[in-house]
Structure formats: C-alpha cells, structure tokens
Structure 1
Amino acid sequence: MAKQPRRPSGPVRRNKAAPAERFPPRKPPKKTVKVVFDAPAPEPDEPRTFRLGVIAGATPGKWIDAWKERMPRVPLELVPVEIAGQRSAIDEVDAALVRLPVADDDGLHVIALYDERPVVVASVDSHLLAAEELTVADLEGEVVIRLVDDPFGALEFPGTVAASFAALPTEEAIATAASGVGIVIVPMSLARLHHRKDADYRVLADGPTSTVALAWPRERTTADVDTFVGIVRGRTANSSR
C-alpha cells in the first residue's frame, strides 16, 4: 500500500502577495491647466467733485457725513446760494438745497425736504419776548425790517409797519433789530445762525413756513446726483430704488 504524503504539523504558510500586487499603483493625477485671459484692467474713475448749492440756514450736515462715507473718492463742495439767484445757481452746481418756491421750475426735479417755522427776532428788551409764542395779531404796530434775501418773498403782515429804510442783509437786519429799531421775521434756522446776546426770538405760530427742497436740472440726473438723492431720502448703500 502506497504511503500517504506526510502533512506538516505546523501552521500552513501561504505565500504573501507582493506589495505591488496588493496595492496596485495609482494613476498619476491629471495636471490642471490654468487659463489666464488678458482682460484689460478697469479704468479708474475720473477725478470729480460733487458741487452742492446750499441756501442760508439749510442744515445738510448729516447728508454730507453720509456722502463722505459712501463716496470717499468724490469730494463734496458746498456752494453758498442766495434766494434771489437760486434758480440760476442750480444750473451751476450738481444739485442745490433751496427755498420754495423756485421760479421756472419746469426744467427741474424738486424734492421738498422739510418746513421751517417762522420766528420773530427782537431786542432782548422788547415786550414781545414776554410771551412764549406770538401770533400775527401780536405784531400790530411793530416796525418790520425788510430783508434783501427775503425767505418769505416780501410777504406783508397785517397791522405792521414797514421800516422806512432799505432792505438789509439778514445778519445786519438782526443786528438792527437787536438795537430796538424794529423786528425781523425769519425761519428759525436763520435766527439761530445769526444768534446774538442782545437779541432773542419767539415762534410766530400762525406765520408762513419756509420749505427747504433739493433741486437739480432734469437733464443732468447723473449717478452722483442719484446717490445724493438716495442719501437724502434715507436709502442705504444696499437699498434698491
């Protein structure tokens, strides 16, 4: 009887696969080709200045601060404007803060901003200052000093007397009223602008208001003008129109 082959008594060893067989070689990564286009560099903005006309007494401070923050590369220049010449002045600036009405405004965009209350400016010794508030009836017999640049359009007040001398600039008129010669009726901002220790003012409750507005030529609604309009209207930099 043929002998059976003897089995090994120890553990059976198996041939281990070579590392190359266990982990086949990876394919080399594909090379990424970066395509560069020769696009022209954007041209810088042309240097420019935004010119804002401002009527006496207007207070554009908060709008100017917002402009500087939003348009740091475009300086804002304030241009003084007189009421008598405000219509022609609008054509010389980008936009202007004016007092309504504006003559011949068909060619303008006009946005009313706020109304100013009228006040009576008088000497600190005037009996008018004894009241906390005045009415037109309280002014009966008073001498009213006329203004060269009258914000109320030379409006007459019943019962008052027009000064016998020529109209004066606002600051000079208030100085004259402080001497006790008469009274001056102006929007409150002008009384504050030309404040004096020897004069004070009281609100004229039933007097005419003065409306401050933003105006600019219709044919010149530029991107800068639109930005300023947005600031005035309270739009943020990310707001849509």
Structure 2
Amino acid sequence: MSENTTTEAGLRIGHVRGVTLAKWRRIWAERYTEPLLVSEVPDSEQLDGLRDGSLDICFVRLPIEREGLHAIPLYEETIVAWVAKDHVLTAADELTLADLEGETVLNDPSGIALDRVLGGAVLVVPMSIARGASRRDLRYRPIVDAETSQVALVWRVDDENPLIEEFIGVVRGRGANSSRGRAAQGPDAGAARKATKNPDRRDRSTPTPTSKGQAKRRGGASSRARGRRPR
C-alpha cells in the first residue's frame, strides 16, 4: 500500500454513485487553497482506492470490511424500485418487497442493467441514484419495507494526511473558526473569534457618563423621597 504523506496535490476523494459533494466542495473552496480531487467509484470497488493508496478518503455504502479503516456513518437512503414508465408497478405510489415477487430484480445500476429495465426488469437502488439520473423513460417507487442504504465516510487508520481531518470537519458542519480546524489556527484566530462572538460587548469597568443635570434631578428626587413623612 502506498502512503500519502504530502498535501500539495490536494485531497483525493472517491464516492459511490448517488453521493453529491457540491455543498462540501463549495465550503472547502471558501476555506482552503488545496484542491479536492473527486472521482466516482463503482460500489463493487469502493474500497479499492483506499486499500491501494490512490484515494485518501471515500464515501461508501455500508456494510464494508472495516479492518484498517475508520468509518463515520453519515446518513441513510430510501431504497426504490426503478422501472420503465409503463411498468405495472408504477400504478402504486409505494411498494413492498412482496410486490416484487415474480419480477426480474437487478441491483447493479450499470448501462446494461438500465437496458434490461426498459425491457421489463426492476432495478432496486438507493433513491439518490434514480433521482439523479432524471430519465423520462423510467420511474421509481419507494420500497417501504426494504432496509435503507447507509452512506459513510471512510479513510485508512494509518493515513496521517492532515487534510483528512479538515475535510471531516467540513462534512460534519464544523465552523471555520472551530479550534479543531486548521483555518482557525492563525496567530490572531483567538482574538478574532472573541470579537466575532460578542462584538458589541462593553467594558463594564468604565461607568456610563451622566450629566450633572441628570445627577442633580435624581439626587433631589431621592432626597425628597427619603424626607417625606407619612400622613
């Protein structure tokens, strides 16, 4: 296994089909100068790039063989039946696994599989794959009792590339001024965070100036109140 110890080339990220990185890529570009080198990988090869060192981090679908790997589960996806638009299954808004009995069921969203779907087969995939294709000749329906597909972020235990921790922070929603983020480690980061947290805070050790007239009026009213006798 090759070992990545430099960061000049950027962070090499793989993802299985259906995972969208647009938001995270935008946030990364706002905070860091190193590029994200993103590539799609087949589900059947989702760990290959991590094992051979050609990827630093990868968005995969669980379950996986986790030996030597860190994994952070991110979210779950609904499973759908993807069929031709005139297939009988499109008559229902939702399906169950029992509805697929007797159908030719496929699980690989390759071009060949889609050709077979147009011929009457049923392709069972995570919803993001069907939704992302936007094909007018196909329709998808959620399978309500199918086990969901879980997406996770995975990287090698022995990879000490500091950009990995930075990217994990972006995915987890960590702010730019987080003490764990490299973007917040500059010499003035602490003062900047303090000012940002409470920019209008006043120094309470300095009394608020009061005019002599105000002091006199308050003082007179107080004296009269103290000198008043009950009737």
TM (norm. structure 1) is: 0.67
Residue 176 of structure 1, aligned match among 98, 110, 116: 116
Cα deviation per residue 1:175-205 (whole Å; 9 max; x = unaligned)? 32123x2111000111123332111000000
Cα deviation per residue 1:119-165 (whole Å; 9 max; x = unaligned)? 00111111111111000111121111352xxxxxxxxxxxxxxxxxx
Structure 2 equivalent of residue 68 of structure 1 = 29
Identity percentage of aligned residues: 40
Tell me, in whole angstroms, the C-alpha distance in 2 between the residues paired with 1:220 and 1:141: 47
Quick check: 1:214 aligned with 2:153? yes
Shift of 1:48: 2.4
Any idea what SS the aligned residue of 2:81 has?
strand
TM (norm. structure 2) is: 0.70
- Name the structure where helix makes up a greater proportion of residues: 2
Larger Rg: 1
| Residue 146 to residue 97, structure 1, CA distance change in 2 (3 Å) | closer
Asked whether the 8 Å contact 1:110–1:216 carries over to 2, the reply is: yes
* Partner AA of 2:156 in structure 1: P
Structure 2 equivalent of residue 230 of structure 1 = 169
Tell me, in whole angstroms, the C-alpha distance in 2 between the residues paired with 1:182 and 1:136: 15
Tell me, in whole angstroms, the C-alpha distance in 2 between the residues paired with 1:123 and 1:46: 46
State how many pairs are aligned: 173
Asked whether the 8 Å contact 2:96–2:144 carries over to 1, the reply is: yes
Gaps of 5+ in 2: 1-5, 181-231
Tell me, in whole angstroms, the C-alpha distance in 1 between the residues paired with 2:57 and 2:8: 18
Tell me, in whole angstroms, the C-alpha distance in 2 between the residues paired with 1:60 and 1:68: 12
Gaps of 5+ in 1: 1-44, 148-168
Asked whether the 8 Å contact 2:7–2:163 carries over to 1, the reply is: no
Tell me, in whole angstroms, the C-alpha distance in 1 between the residues paired with 2:173 and 2:24: 9
| Residue 171 to residue 208, structure 1, CA distance change in 2 (3 Å) | farther
Asked whether the 8 Å contact 1:171–1:194 carries over to 2, the reply is: no
